[in-house]
A and B are shown apart, each in its own frame.
Chain A
Amino acid sequence: MLNYSLKRLASAIPTLFLLITFAFFLIRIAPGGPFDGERALPPDIEANLAAKYHLDEPLPMQYLRYLWQIVRLDFGPSFHYLDWTVNDLIAQGAPVSFTLGGLALLLALAIGIPIGAWAALRQNRPGDYAVMSIAMVGISIPNFVVAPLLILLFAISLGWLPAGGWEFSPSRMVLPVITLALPMIAYIARITRGSMIEVLRSSFIRTARAKGLPEKEILFNHALKPALLPVISYLGPAAAGILTGSVVVERIFTIPGIGSYFVQGALNRDYTLVMGVVILYGILIILFNYLVDLIYAWLDPRIRYDDQEAGA
């Protein structure tokens, strides 16, 4: 196990390096710079700012400087939010994004898996069609439509919930979490349904049925575990995406997470901030893919990652 983990860790380093290099040069190709504004800066001030942030050096030099910075875990000052460093901004935004995303993920799993399994048991019957159609609505309506609808209904017409803001208060979390979870519920339900149908047709379930085991036991003890495998592999990248936030949800509900830095950072040419969140995302992806593999091994005993301690 340990051996395998170390191997994965070692292979993550070139991946991250590739990601950093690619993102660094990509964002620099974009026209315009971080200090452009509607009002033109006097040339000497502009030159001074460039020198202050080392933007006057040749690009390869800046790249090496940046790599050296990251090695020391310093993501540098933000070029847009002048009073903060990228570390500050991520430290402020990440807990918000992780809370929001984590709750949405839990909600999506708690609803998606049961309705997917339920639909699988009624394959091609009205109940199946009804549930899956509703799930499809969750996928087919963009969340920038769902969010204003929810706000209009629950915050403005009914006045039950706040219209936005965050501040870690439960009532403010309800609408954004639901908005973020809706499409995931739909995806998870569909994946669960598909794999559940497949599992229910497989030979070992038929054997179990032939043995006369109670349906409930077959379902929960035998079918559910293998049926969840595709859900788990979907969750890896999905979790990384949802934990780093959603631009739409953050914007519509004014949530100070890190999601909008991917967009705003790029639009403001806030080079360091954008690199910071890109690297964070990359690390999460690698981490979650690793976790997915571990969970796989745990759920499916046929898979073993360790060649040396296989007997243990």
Chain B
Amino acid sequence: MAVAGLRALLALSAVALLAACGGSPADGEPAPSRLPQVVEVVLDEQGRPEPSLLAERQVLLRGNGEEPQTLDPHLAEGVPAANILRDLFEGLTTTAPDGRIIPGAAIHWDISRDGLTYTFYLDPAGRWSNGDPVTAADFVWSWQRVVDPSTGAAYARMLAPVVNAEAILSAERPPEDLGVTALNDTTFQVQLSSPTPYFLGLLTHPTTFPVHQASLETYGSAHVRPGNLVSNGAFVLDDWQVRSRIDVVRNPHFRLVDEVLIEQVTFFPFEDENTEFNRFRAGDLHWTYQVPSNQFRWLEQNMAEALHVSPWFGTYFFSFNLTREPFRDSVELRQALNLAIDREILTQRVTRFGEIPTFTLVPPGLPDYQPPEPEHAEWTQAEREARARELYARAGFSDSNPLVVELRYNTSENHRKIAVAVAAMWKQTLGVQTRLVNEEFRVFLQNRAQRRVTQVFRSGWIGDYQDAFTFLELFHSEHGRNDAGYNNPRFDRLLDQIASERIPSRRRNLMVEAERMLLADQVILPVFTYVTKRLVDPRLQGWQENVMDQHLSRHMFLVRERTVDVAPAETADDQENPTEDETES
């Protein structure tokens, strides 16, 4: 027995060593891809696939980031929870595969001429998963719940444009005063306090989803447990194993149930992106939440057809603490640091997934907004660096009297790499001595908000709704996340004007002006526009890349494989599959 044990151990360590040495793709030779080959997909007039092409089992396996904190749509935060909630629930509007806003629980709506009154006409076929009709009263009750401070809704400010929402949030008025009314069972009217061009977009956010009043009253905080949760979306919660899996199955009462091809979606939480990556490679997932950033080269060589990268509605930037030295009064110094970093190197050699270098706050890609590029965006990097040195000297620093600065970031592999690279660039170009301070997330957030110890710190923002304002409002002197401490009365006034401006073109111009002011004051150091990156099994179809990164499972479907999974040794004849002929004919 002892000898057997020893042999086992020997064998094990030997294979482990082999794996360590033989694991790398030798001489850049691509390893044979194990991705399934799929049939060619033909869509009919409605954009639905030929039924014969569909895989037999329509069970979608989605990797989904960290375990959601809650599945209560009003309390939930973060992208992972939102992904599940968009499958379980349906707001007044929803998104098409390409990200367009399309009718959801409301099949159409009227907007008054002044842009202050929205009247939504609910789909009379709308049903909760227990068969109850979805009514305008459900929305009234749900929205009142959101703005009620005792609910503790994290994103309650999403409803801030609605009449009285601010006053209710600060407990000055009762929730019943919210500017929403049920005109009848299927007509829901909203009064806004200022025209909000992005209002329809807000309605795809889980905070604005309806919840089922009766089950909330029966079960209290346990209303989201499997078996208790009643939802109005394409799927209904079936099972929830904490930190293991969340299963949702097709909701037979969903108003468009006939169009939903996926029968079940399983969301898998992951604490580690490498783990998710391995699970995808082992064939356990159709869809990943992210991709480990250091795997780009490998992916390019081995799984290029599964890798999907597309621009996202978010910006990675650093902020300066404007309330303390050394950045308080020295715009030259801030500009010097901004110009000294090489964004091409950062995106091509550090982050590596095709992130887009940027000099502005608002990401490109909005239909009606063009961020104002500062003039140095057009310069060469050498010109920028020369100018940076000039400004650095003008700010009173030199080789003998270098700037000593702390660069703060929270624990994460990507933040770490970017911070190290930025510090090296500052040192190489200007001779700045940077001390890197890596903090645990909550400590970091607290330090950022207190503005006592911070100097330069990692920031970043993903837009909550499709409008430039979601970025600009962060720098209002009274915004809760204005960690830079930017306090410019002219900027604040511009923001107030934007909020009440009714004419779209004037509003856009005001926003451009505000962003230009922010960039000229160099409150931030923009680095790149985020991209979404994920691996998707080629069999999964019906989805498209979109800038808001919303992907509802109800639009998706799984198609057949072209070849059955056979060992490579078998003959070519065996690999022929009748469906292939069908599609080619």
Contacts and interface: CB of A to CB of B under 8 A. Distances in A.
Do A and B touch (CB < 8 Å)? yes
Interface of A: 30-33, 36-45, 47-49, 52, 77, 80-84, 88-89, 92-93, 110-111, 114-115, 117-118, 131, 134-135, 137-138, 146, 148-153, 155-157, 159, 162-167, 178, 185, 251-254, 256, 260, 264, 267-269
B61 to A, nearest CB: 11
Contacts of B284: 162-165
B72 A83 contact: yes
B70 A82 contact: yes
A264 B243 CA distance: 12
Contacts of A167: 241, 244-245
B154 A254 contact: no
A247 to B, nearest CB: 9
Nearest to A41: B154
Nearest to A46: B152
Pairs A-B, 3 closest by C-beta atoms = A40-B480, A32-B442, A163-B282
A269 B72 CA distance: 21
Contact of B19 (A82, A152, A159): A152
B2 A118 contact: yes
Interface string B1-24: 111011011101101101110010
Contact of A149 (B20, B150, B270): B20
A183 to B, nearest CB: 12
- Contact-residue bracket for chain B: 35 or more
A92 B242 contact: yes
B549 interface: no
B281 interface: yes
Contacts of B157: 42
Nearest to A133: B13
A111 B19 contact: no
B13 A137 contact: yes
Interface of B: 1-3, 5-6, 8-10, 12-13, 15-16, 18-20, 23, 67, 69-72, 75, 77, 149-157, 169-171, 221-222, 224-225, 241-245, 268-272, 274-275, 278-279, 281-282, 284, 440-443, 445-447, 449, 479-481
Given A32-B446, A83-B72, A267 B149 contact: no
Given A114-B2, A118-B3, A39 B77 contact: yes
Contact of A49 (B6, B70, B152): B152
Identify the interface centre among A40, A162, A165, A264: most chain B CB within 10 Å of its CB. A40
Given A114-B5, A254-B244, A44 B170 contact: yes
22 contacts: A33-B442, A36-B445, A39-B154, A40-B449, A41-B480, A45-B151, A48-B152, A82-B69, A82-B72, A93-B242, A110-B5, A115-B9, A117-B2, A131-B6, A152-B19, A163-B284, A164-B278, A251-B272, A251-B275, A254-B279, A256-B241, A267-B442
A240 B241 CA distance: 24
Contacts of B445: 32, 36-38
Given A152-B19, A153-B16, A167-B241, 6 more contacts: A37-B445, A42-B170, A254-B244, A254-B275, A260-B243, A267-B441
A166 B157 CA distance: 39
Contacts of A166: 244
Contacts of B281: 156, 163
Contacts of B67: 81
A102 B344 CA distance: 52
Contacts of B153: 45
Nearest to B480: A40
A48 B440 contact: no
Contacts of B15: 153
A46 to B, nearest CB: 8
Nearest to B19: A153
Contacts of B2: 114-115, 117-118
Contacts of B71: 83
Contact of B77 (A37, A43, A48, A152): A37
Identify the interface centre among A45, A153, A185, A251: most chain B CB within 10 Å of its CB. A45
A93 B16 CA distance: 30
A150 B149 CA distance: 50
Contacts of B243: 93, 254, 256, 260
Contacts of A88: 242
A33 B222 CA distance: 24
A268 B67 CA distance: 12
A44 B441 contact: no
A164 B279 contact: yes
A93 to B, nearest CB: 7
A311 B3 CA distance: 44
A99 to B, nearest CB: 13
A39 B481 contact: yes
Contacts of A110: 5
A166 B94 CA distance: 35
A37 B157 CA distance: 14
Contacts of B150: 48, 52
A115 B6 contact: yes
Nearest to A50: B152
Nearest to A111: B5
Nearest to A88: B242
A231 B153 CA distance: 53
A47 B149 CA distance: 9
